[in-house]
Structure 1
């Protein structure tokens, strides 16, 4: 798969996981989480080229997709990722909570989604 195709897989499966969660279908949600996790792992395995490819999701129309990308790129693009997460964290609900948790873990020094 190309980097662009992997990025598309991340966006598709993050959105599908969120939709499944809202429908109360954790089994389907977990299936999509594994798929986007695999795509992110493949992107990060490509080093900075994979990380740069993932940056396009900072502008995605869905907040859940933006938050997932930003949470994984905190070490690589700290200022930009924090801005995405801080904007999302101002809201209410599951995705803003996830954004605030990512920021909390980063500030505590326990964040480890892409340790480098």
Structure 2
């Protein structure tokens, strides 16, 4: 893996799909927050492991010793990345991750006469 762009002032953020595939790279936490229209603190907690996911996606900070290249998009798995970083994290099963945040209509079950 090779990282094409380097930014020394901020911590790059990697985005993984609900299917646990690498789909995005942001140069900073702020850029990711703006793109997903959410608070930086929400993405930060997903990157550090305080929460499992945010906005229906998985987020990670790019480790200093790992490089990302264009061929990794869609092929790099979240489990592989965490193993390279030496981190153990919890993941949602794919089916429950894709249904996360869905709203259901709840009707009262009254007897019809």
Q: TM-score range by the shorter chain?
A: under 0.3
Higher relative contact order (CA 8 A, sep 6+): 2
What is the TM-score normalised by the length of structure 2? 0.25
Higher strand share: 2
Q: Which structure shows the higher helix fraction?
A: 1
Q: TM-score, normalised by structure 1?
A: 0.24
